[in-house]
Chain A
Amino acid sequence: MSQDIAQFKKDSPMSGTLRMDRMSHIWCPGCGIGSEVNAFAEAVKRSGIDPDKLAVVSGIGCTGRVAGYVDFDSIHTTHGRAIPVATGLKLARPDMKVVVFSGEGDLTGIGGNHFIHAARRNMDIVVICNNNFTYGMTGGQVTPTTPHSAVSSTTPFGNHEYPFNLPFLADAAGATYIARWTSMHSRNLIQSMEEALSRKGFSFIEIISPCTTLYLRRNRLGDGVDALQFYQENALLKHGADTRTLDLDFQGKITIGKFVEKDKPTYIEALDNQCVKVVGDDYELYGKTIPEREAEEKAEKARVAERRAAVLAEEEKARAKAGVVKVSAKIPVKAGAKKAVAKTTKKAAAATTKKVAAKTVTAKKTTAKSTTAKKAVVKTAKKAAPKAKAKAAVKKVAAKPATKKVAAKPAAKKTRK
């Protein structure tokens, strides 16, 4: 029997990204953390990043245990200190992708100072914040994000404090990528995590998530399924929304989407730029003192692209085999549709079709990072809107206008009652 379980774990599609030898995990039934970790594992696969060149750092809490389950180099730190540990790791190994995965109490309560300073520095890390409005691990106390009037073990008469609006906090501090989803929005989450993993700079993803055992129970909000239903009915997709408008009220609407995406030199790039300005040619770029390292970086980029293409091709094959034709229609939110569009665009460009394709390519080149979202904007906006508008859309960073046009909203609306 135990032999079977071992084999089962080995054969799991998650083996290679999750530490199957550590399963089963500690999280409660219905808790949002598990599905977020799943989404993360999937995003890593799709990103094409070499798993050996990815590190995950967590703080303390239920979410803090994530570092112990992912099959990457991983550090489970002290309460609140995941971001500075990740900072040190990133600066020591600029060639690695460093992800912080932790709870909102950890990241924005005890670790709040580190959060704003890492954002201010545009430290090149991805910060994934599981926001369950509670200190889960310690039994459900109030946190910096607990909505006003919500009950917790330390606000038994309802929370009288005012909560953080985390995307606004991140924005004000200087984060260059900010998104919010709920743990139900797996597709978007995967897409968003993949985007964050594939770019440079401080990327912040907030995930509204149910703590079934404590927050939901104490506030009589039902179980995990009720929470997911609530998210489905109350999440409003609004890419590019003004971060000042993203406050969360107790059981109110939850604005989700990608709110900010901009280019700004990362901490290391800014350091190099400044030193080059002052010291001149004598200055050796940090972390690039060894020429082989540069060559390595280049090669790695190519490998990432290759792996990514392979994963996508495999998926495509699997879909074809399963007879799923209308892929984009199945994806609840725009993000996935964008991806498909972007892909075909690329092919079209290669075949040197016409201006639309050419334009996409330019957009890709100038932004260097070529977020699929931007490409998609060009494409979809072009189809439906006049030229000028399309251009404006590209400049606006987030896929705001496009959002209105694609299946996302109707899909969400369908279930709203």
Chain B
Amino acid sequence: MNVKTMPADPKGVDSGPHFMDGDHALAEGALAAGCRFFAGYPITPSTETFERFAERAPEVGAMFIQMEDELSAIAANIGAVWGGQKVMTVTCGPGFSLMVENIGLAAMTETPMVICNVQRAGPSTGAPTLTAQQDMMQAKYGPHGDNAMIALSPDSPQECFDLAIEAFNLSEYYRVPVIILTDETVGHMHEKVVIPPADQIKVVPRNLFTGPKEDFRPYKFNSKGGNPMTRAGDGYRFHITGLTHNEKGYPVVTAEQNKIVVTHLMEKINGNADDIVRLEEDQIEGADVVVVSYGITSRIAVKAIQDARKEGIKVGSLRMITIWPFCEKRIRELAGKVKTFVVPELNYGQMVNEVERCAGGKSKVISVNHCGGAVHDPEVILEAIRKGSK
């Protein structure tokens, strides 16, 4: 990501050590990243982010509004982005399902924004508000039609703060909605969070078009990030639509144009996966078993991995910080080199399908699924590692 950054606006940065939960850390991360608009609708276990922002809004000159539902919350955020603001909202499954409508509009209109899904156990109202990681696929396939989005998954309150900033930076650069897939456990877990001084926080500012009016185009279908956008009131008189459009933003509803737009939307993310994907790896070299995990489950897996190593099993850890785009290249590299991928997750088996696809039959894949409502017993993961090492 070859992009201009600038230090964070100190107004939004509450520097110093804090003891806070993941939800609050998300709000602080957003404020540090320059988010000055927040439209949302309350739902446990995400509400704390929302409340924190409401309290902090006046002191940073931000706007906070509780909308009448999640449909309108996400819509208001889109409006605010085209008004020039950086925006964020939080929700969990039931609310995310409603937001999906206009997350699709945001993807289509290349509107940057950050949406946090503090996952709880579903389906439907499910088990409020017990933990889960069941919306992994929804983050990718939620909106209808083909569009690629970015999703990140923090495993601690500190990472909630850090990834909130990263999410904003990615969304600004790629002009795409970025989803933070956290969960009830990380959201409500209190830990030490260190907020650095503002000048040490790198922020990607909105890339606004400044050329002559005749040259203005709200879009550029080049499968790349870094394209400029605009905001209301700058005199460019933009038009944006959820319809298939040309670079001027005007509707052009043809198969040819749809190909141009969809290819761009997909490729600007998938084609730049190398730039986007972030993983945390530990002792993968020479490992027989690699545990592929993310979010809260990766912290449970640590215990199982430690115990397995005590037993002499060569086991590595691959923690996905980026969920989408999927770390396809890395899994393909390891496929055939490791005996088994063990994939624990708080769902009936979602990301494991991606691992299996990329493993391509060259390595065994063991799913350690869990229907949500609690975290894994590390013993179950350990058992899978043992099985995988044989």
State how many angstroms separate the Cβ of A395 from the closest Cβ of chain B: 34
A53 contacts the other chain (CB 8 A):
yes
Hey, which chain A residues are within 8 Å of B84, CB to CB? 92-93
Nearest neighbor of A76 in chain B, beta-carbon distance: B241
CB distance A92 to B79 under 8 Å? yes
A93 to B233, CA, bound (A): 8
Q: Is B72 an interface residue (CB 8 A)?
A: yes
Residues of B within 8 A of A73 (CB): 82, 232-233, 236-239
A305–B251 Cα distance when bound, in Å, is 36
Contact B85 A68 (CB under 8 A): no
CB contact under 8 A between A85 and B68, given known A22-B250, A51-B237, A92-B37: no
Closest to B83 in A: A92
Q: Is B69 an interface residue (CB 8 A)?
A: yes
**Nearest CB in chain B: distance from A119 CB, A:** 11
B67 interface residue per 8 A CB criterion: yes
- Within B99-142, the residues touching A (CB, 8 Å) are 101-102, 104-105
The verdict on A87 contacting B238 (CB below 8 Å), with A52-B233, A76-B243 known, is no
Do B237 and A67 touch (CB < 8 A)?
no
Is A236 in the interface zone, CB < 8 Å from B? no
- Choose from B85, B102, B240 the contact partner of A92 (Cβ within 8 Å): B85
Q: Is the CB of A57 within 8 A of B232?
A: no
The CA of A96 and the CA of B75, in the complex, are separated in Å by 18
Which residues of chain B are near A95, meaning CB under 8 Å? 233
Are the CB atoms of B72 and A289 closer together than 8 Å?
Answer: no
CB of B69 within 8 A of CB of A113, answer yes
Interface residues in B123-174 by Cβ distance below 8 A to A read none
For residue A340, CB closer than 8 A to chain B, the reply is no
Residues of B within 8 A of A289 (CB): 61
When distances are taken between beta carbons in the complex, the residues of chain B under 8 Å from A80 are 71
Q: Does A90 contact B (CB under 8 A)?
A: yes
Residues of B within 8 A of A68 (CB): 239, 241, 250-251
CB of A265 to closest CB in B, whole Å: 15
Contact (Cβ within 8 A) B37 A117: no
Assess whether A84 is in contact with B240, with CB atoms less than 8 Å apart: no
B241 and A93 form a contact (CB under 8 A): no
- Nearest-neighbor residue (CB-CB) of A121 within chain B: B65
Asked if B237 contacts A72 (CB within 8 A), the reply is: yes
Say yes or no for A251: interface residue by CB 8 A criterion.
no
Q: What CA separation (Å) do A90 and B84 show in the bound complex?
A: 11
A241 contact set on B, CB distance < 8 A? none
Name the one of A76, A92, A283 contacting B63, with C-beta atoms under 8 angstroms.
Answer: A92
Contact, CB under 8 Å: B68 / A117: yes
CB distance from B152 to the nearest CB of A (A): 24
Contact of B79 among A51, A52, A75, A117 (CB under 8 A): A75
Could you say which residues of chain A place their CB within 8 Å of the CB of B81?
Answer: 88, 92
A77 contacts the other chain (Cβ, under 8 Å)? yes
B71 touching A81, Cβ below 8 Å? yes
Tell me if B72 and A84 are in contact (CB < 8 A).
Answer: yes
Give residues of chain B (40-92) contacting chain A, Cβ–Cβ below 8 Å. Answer: 58, 61, 63, 65, 67-69, 71-73, 75-85, 87
A74 to B236, CA, bound (A): 10
Report if B39 contacts A (CB, 8 A): yes
- Report whether A89 and B238 are in contact in the complex, using a CB–CB cutoff of 8 Å: no
Interface residues of A in 44-100 (CB under 8 A from B): 51-53, 55, 57, 67-68, 71-78, 80-81, 83-93, 95-96
Main secondary structure of the interface of B (DSSP, over half): mixed
- Interface size band for B: 35 or more
Contacts of A90 in B (CB 8 A): 79, 83
Instruction: Please determine whether A77 and B80 come into contact, CB atoms closer than 8 angstroms.
Output: no
- Chain A residues, CB < 8 A from B69: 113
How many Å lie between the Cα of A284 and that of B76 in the bound state? 23
Smallest Cβ distance from B215 to chain A, in angstroms?
A: 15
Assembled-state Cα–Cα distance A85/B73 (Å): 9
Most buried by A among B69, B77, B79, B238: B79
Asked if A84 and B63 sit within 8 Å, CB to CB, the answer is no
Q: Is the CB of A91 within 8 A of B76?
A: yes
Is residue A392 within 8 Å, beta carbon to beta carbon, of the partner chain? Answer: no
* Residues of the B chain whose Cβ atoms lie less than 8 Å from the Cβ of A52: 233-235, 237
Q: Is B242 an interface residue (CB 8 A)?
A: yes
Report if A76-B76 is in contact (Cβ < 8 Å); known contacts: A52-B235, A96-B83: no
Bound complex: CA of A71 vs CA of B236, how far in Å? Answer: 10
Contacts A73-B232, A73-B233 given: A88-B78 contact, CB under 8 Å? yes
Inside 8 A of A279's CB, which chain B residues have their CB?
58
- Judge if A409 is at the interface, Cβ distance under 8 Å: no
Which residues of A lie under 8 Å from residue B236 when comparing CB positions? 73
- B68 and A81 within 8 A (CB): no
- Report whether B232 and A93 are in contact in the complex, using a CB–CB cutoff of 8 Å: yes
Q: What does the 1/0 interface line of A109-145 toward B look like (CB < 8 Å)?
A: 0000110010000000000000000000000000000
Bound complex: CA of A77 vs CA of B108, how far in Å?
11
Interface string of B227-260 (1 = CB under 8 A from A): 0000111111111111100000011000000000
**Hey, which chain B residues are within 8 Å of A71, CB to CB?**
237
Q: Determine whether the beta carbon of A85 is less than 8 Å from that of B233.
A: no
CB proximity of A140 to chain B, nearest CB, Å: 21
Please measure, in the bound complex, the distance between the C-alpha atom of A84 and the C-alpha atom of B67, giving whole angstroms.
8
Decide if A87 touches B232 in the complex (CB within 8 Å).
no
CA separation between A92 and B61, bound complex, in Å? 11
Separation of A284 and B57 alpha carbons in the complex (Å): 11
Q: Is the CB of B58 within 8 A of A74?
A: no
Chain A residues with CB under 8 A of B77: 88
Residue A346, interface by CB 8 Å? no
Chain B contacts for A358, CB-based, 8 A: none
Q: Contacts A88-B77, A95-B233 given; indicate if A75 touches B240 (C-beta within 8 A).
A: yes
6 nearest A-B pairs in the assembled complex, by CB-CB distance: A92-B83, A88-B79, A88-B76, A84-B72, A76-B241, A89-B79
Known: A55-B233, A92-B83, A275-B58. 10 other contacts (CB 8 A): A73-B239, A77-B242, A83-B72, A84-B72, A87-B67, A88-B80, A88-B81, A93-B231, A113-B68, A279-B58
A-B contact pairs, 26 of them (CB 8 A): A52-B234, A53-B233, A68-B251, A73-B82, A73-B236, A73-B239, A74-B239, A75-B79, A76-B240, A77-B75, A77-B105, A81-B102, A84-B72, A84-B75, A85-B79, A87-B67, A87-B76, A88-B37, A88-B83, A88-B87, A90-B79, A91-B79, A95-B233, A113-B68, A117-B72, A279-B58
